[in-house]
Amino acid sequence: MDKTYSRRDFLRHSSTIGAGLALANIGNAVVQAEENSAMISAGGKTLKIGFVGIGARGSHLFQILLELNGLEIRALCDIREDRVQRAHRWVTEAGQPEPSGYTKGDTDFKRMCETEDLDLVITATPWQWHVPVCVAAMQAGKHAATEVPAAVTLDECWQLVETSEKYNRYCMMLENYCYFRKTMTILNMIRRGVFGELLHCEGRTQEDWVRENWHLFNSDGTMGWGGEHLAERNGNTYPTHGFGPLGIWANINRGDRLDHLVSLSSKACALRLHAQASFGKEHPLAKRTYNQGDANITLLRSTNGVSFTLYYGALSPQPWSPEHKVQGTLGTCIGDMFDYGAENTRWIQAKVYEKARETETRGRWSSYWDYGEKYDHPLWKALGSVANKYRARDWSGAYDYLMLYQLINALRRNEAPPMDVYDAATWSAISELSERSVANKSSLQDFPDFTKGKWKTNAPTDLSQVWNV
């Protein structure tokens, strides 16, 4: 029998959360024909949106929103008035009514949430503000959506869940890796039983934040907000790109749930070396102690016995690579999940091994492209041509379009968004649990059940909702 813990109980204790009820093969059932798997509906109200944090990432999302049907951006919030003024101009140039602006300090989003008549508040702020903005929105009766990760600590994860439940508001984390075309094709293959019963999944967040100067150090020699996190913490502090697709593939919180993890990190070198190269060896940032290991590996296991490996490395020199793996009783797919195109020669391309094909003369391993057309996901089949128009603006444009399309159109019709607050909390909780494990010689860390048992009956998602707009 499962034990159900409150937030405070879990933070006080580290007892094992029970095994729970297994749902046999729910993720491997053969689904209906693709033509019938999409939900089609018309109409819906005009969604009134408030937007918090209009920097580089926020501006990108903001401009996609302005091109979606059925919404108006009514309120803008940022600590920099020039950003609000710029976004204000974008809104009026798009033919929408003039939005209100909020620029009076770090917490002016609270005044926006309390004052404005809004349906949804979206935040693209630094990590530490994601939960405060979402909580303020839900307490004021608005739905919330946040950039990744949704939360930094376990306590924040519980705040999101408890506030969402108390005020009956949705809270979706904007994890765009779940919308990669290959990622969604593999989801379709899993749902159609190509890989058999799921056994193991792998995901990675491999980037080069130092060379990109990703909020690490400011040009005036002070620490950026991203650098503060990486200087003080040590674990998988950015887990959702790696785990998000795996969580959808494996029906986490929808027939299964994460049970426990262990984690270890390498030594920390990159941030100190970067500070020395940027400001000199005698600069305070060059002499500071940095905790975040340059590489982190986290192992997880679900109640139903599916294992997961996550790699996180964003500081030492290495190419960006969204490489993922799915392994089942009948087949395996491993490789780069980004959609480079069939003509592109990438250092690693996705490959598929399917037991049913192992006697073919071409060998057991096949290219992903042998499966891509047959198992192309319904969402991409319906909207791929539109989504790809956003690719030229930003590498993630196509995925962000599909993600925002599903969020906006679900809320317009009072339907649940494709990913919920339990996904946001569970995927984000990997951060603090991995930090605890690393700090205690890779000790085992139990996962809280944010769903309080609802994972046993929650239906799996296939992210296939398409609406006539």
Q: How far apart are CA 463 and CA 31, in angstroms?
A: 13
**Whether the Cβ atoms of residue 206 and residue 323 lie closer than 8 Å to each other:** yes
pLDDT at 350: 76
Helices (H), 368-462: 369-372, 378-387, 397-412, 421-439
Give the confidence band of 338 by pLDDT, cuts at 50, 70, 90. confident
Mean pLDDT, residues 13-27 taken together: 32
pLDDT at 353: 83
How does pLDDT run across 175-190, given as a tens digit for each residue? 999 999 999 999 999 9
Mean pLDDT, residues 154-174 taken together: 98
pLDDT at 322: 87
Position 74 in a domain: no
Give the confidence band of 13 by pLDDT, cuts at 50, 70, 90. very low
Mean pLDDT, residues 87-91 taken together: 98
**Whether the Cβ atoms of residue 119 and residue 48 lie closer than 8 Å to each other:** yes
Give the confidence band of 267 by pLDDT, cuts at 50, 70, 90. very high
Position 264 in a domain: yes
Helix (H, G, I), strand (E, B) or coil at 263: strand
pLDDT at 127: 97
How far is residue 272 from each of residues 238, 277, 282, 292, measured CA to CA in Å?
20, 9, 11, 11
Domain with residue 320: its CATH number is: 3.30.360.10
Q: Let me know how many helices (H) and strands (E) the chain has, helices first.
A: 17, 15
What length does the chain have? Answer: 469
Helix (H, G, I), strand (E, B) or coil at 368: coil
pLDDT of 362 over the 80 cut:
no
DSSP class of 357: G
Residue 213 or residue 12, greater confidence: 213
pLDDT of 71 over the 70 cut:
yes
In the chain, the number of structural domains is: 1
Position 256 in a domain: yes
Helices (H), 77-232: 81-93, 108-115, 130-139, 154-167, 181-191, 209-212, 225-232
The residue range of the domain holding 195 is 177-377+421-456
H or E segment and range at residue 48? strand 47-52
Token code pair at residue 406: 């599903």
Q: How far apart are CA 464 and CA 376, in angstroms?
A: 11
Position 55 in a domain: no
Cβ neighbors of 64 (< 8 A, separation 6 or more) are 390, 397, 400, 401, 404
**Whether the Cβ atoms of residue 125 and residue 102 lie closer than 8 Å to each other:** no
Chain mean pLDDT for the chain: 88
Q: How far apart are CA 367 and CA 83, in angstroms?
A: 45
Residue 320 or residue 441, greater confidence: 441
Position 119 in a domain: no
- Evaluate the omega torsion of the peptide bond into residue 149 and state whether it is cis, within 30 degrees of 0: yes
Q: Minimum mean pLDDT among 105-114, 232-241, 342-351, 393-402: which range?
A: 342-351
pLDDT of 339 over the 80 cut:
no
Helix (H, G, I), strand (E, B) or coil at 108: helix
pLDDT of 4 over the 50 cut:
no
- Backbone angles phi and psi of 433, in degrees to 5: -65, -40
Mean pLDDT, residues 229-254 taken together: 97
How does pLDDT run across 22-58, given as a tens digit for each residue? 332 333 333 333 333 334 455 789 999 999 999 999 9
Position 46 in a domain: no
**Whether the Cβ atoms of residue 328 and residue 334 lie closer than 8 Å to each other:** no
Percent of the chain with pLDDT over 90: 77
Give the confidence band of 348 by pLDDT, cuts at 50, 70, 90. very low
Q: Minimum mean pLDDT among 128-132, 207-211, 356-360: which range?
A: 356-360
pLDDT at 20: 31
Token code pair at residue 105: 């300090």
Mean pLDDT, residues 250-274 taken together: 97
Position 96 in a domain: no
Helix (H, G, I), strand (E, B) or coil at 350: coil
The three-point CA angle 107-110-111 to 5° equals: 105
Q: Minimum mean pLDDT among 258-262, 300-304, 341-345: which range?
A: 341-345
pLDDT of 270 over the 90 cut:
yes
pLDDT at 341: 52
Q: What is the CA radius of gyration of the chain?
A: 22
H or E segment and range at residue 312? strand 307-313
Position 67 in a domain: no
